Chain A
Amino acid sequence: DAKTTQPPSMDCAEGRAANLPCNHSTISGNEYVYWYRQIHSQGPQYIIHGLKNNETNEMASLIITEDRKSSTLILPHATLRDTAVYYCIVSALMNRDDKIIFGKGTRLHILP
């Protein structure tokens, strides 16, 4: 079973920030939080990952709570091309026995 809980779907207006929540209350100390997205019919695309500090890259920001039990992916200025399924995954880095498990994710609809 996936170690994360995400809402099945969300809407966001184009140009606004999209905030996607993820609950991972059983996360272990050595597990990272990863975010991927899958645009219709394509292979998943890596977005960002983090351990406990907030992270930012050219695609998104990742905010992890201090207790690490939840996180939020922020797309700062959503566009129609951001419509996709977003997967939140927890996995220990370099742990061969801790396979990445994709749950059902959040289907994000960007509204024009």
Chain B
Amino acid sequence: NAGVTQTPKFQVLKTGQSMTLQCAQDMNHNSMYWYRQDPGMGLRLIYYSASEGTTDKGEVPNGYNVSRLNKREFSLRLESAAPSQTSVYFCASSADSEYSYEQYFGPGTRLTVT
């Protein structure tokens, strides 16, 4: 049981390049999330998916797209990377049962855009 996994762990992009961050969970959770964390800051929600086939915007969605490929996988795409998107990206999932809403986080992807 790996929990939440993210690939890649590190990435350096040049301005204007595109890339997709991958996230997968093996806990059969319904909801999945993408956050970004800038140095010295808390996490900010980019997008979330309450179930397969649905996605919704969070606090900071501009410049990103997401795909909930199936129940296990939720990917985040940067179409044209900008230096302001330099950050650590965390994926999370939650079961959303009647009694519990805690999120389980992956190890993060450290992205630098030059």
Interface of A toward B, CB cutoff 8 Å: 2, 32, 34, 36, 41-46, 49, 87, 91, 93-94, 96, 99-105
Contact = CB atoms under 8 A, between A and B. Distances in A.
A109 to B, nearest CB: 16
A42 B108 contact: yes
A41 B103 contact: no
Contacts of A100: 45, 103
Give chain B's interface residue range (CB within 8 Å of chain A). Answer: 20 to 34
Given A94-B101, A99-B58, A43 B45 contact: no
B42 A103 contact: yes
Secondary structure of the A contact surface, majority rule: loop
Contact of A99 (B40, B59, B98, B106): B59
Contacts of A101: 42, 45, 59
A105 B42 contact: yes
B19 interface: no
A91 B106 CA distance: 21
A84 to B, nearest CB: 13
A96 B108 contact: no
Nearest to B102: A46
